[in-house]
Amino acid sequence: MTLTKKILLGFLAIIVVIQFIRPQRNEGSLDGPNEIAKKYPVPAEVQTILKQSCYDCHSNNTRYPWYANVQPVGWWIQYSHVNDAKRHLNFSEYATYSEKKAKHKFEEIVDEVKEGEMPLGTYTFMHGDAVLSAEQSKTLTDWAASLK
């Protein structure tokens, strides 16, 4: 067996083995006791936008695409997107935020959406339905601004 074949077989073996090392999934309830709507008014139109464009990363319930089952892509999604996003803002835990922190998060929502930073381009690339229209951006930022 040539060195090239040994390297390719070794690489293939590593790829197969890492498929069994999976991150813990973010599959909790969307309507938990600390959900944002339990403490702040969330109009139906805003709730629709949040679920479509924000909740996969910023809630306790992620709808995983098929390719999240392929490692290392699944690791990247879980650790680089979901876990990191929830550290910054979690709509499923929003009611636990202090008044000061919640107001600051509303300000950040306004800023991030207005600047086109959210939702992330790496997310919308594969989730075209999550791209915010100008009208949706305005609806979301007007709502968040009214609560800050």
Q: Say if 18 falls within a structural domain.
A: no
Q: pLDDT value at position 88?
A: 95
Residue 106: predicted pLDDT: 97
20 is a domain residue: no
Residue 9 lies in a domain: no
pLDDT of residue 74: 86
Which are the contacts of 50, defined by CB distance < 8 A and separation ≥ 6?
A: 36, 42, 91, 140
Rounded Cα gap, residues 10 and 70, in angstroms: 18
d(CA 28, CA 19): 23
Q: Is the residue at 15 inside a domain?
A: no
According to DSSP, the residues that pair with 61 across neighbouring strands are 27
Q: Can you give the pLDDT at residue 26?
A: 81
Domain membership of residue 33 as a residue range: 25-147
The answer as to whether 62 is a domain residue is yes
Contacts of 25 (CB under 8 A, 6+ apart): 62, 64, 78
Position 11 in a domain: no
Q: What is the mean pLDDT of each run of 10 residues along the chain (148 residues)?
A: 86 84 79 92 96 94 89 87 93 96 97 95 90 97 94
List the Cα angle 77/129/59 in 5-degree steps: 45
> How many domains are there within the chain?
1
Residue 58 lies in a domain: yes
Residue 39 is assigned to a structural domain of this protein: yes
Q: Provide the pLDDT for residue 24.
A: 83
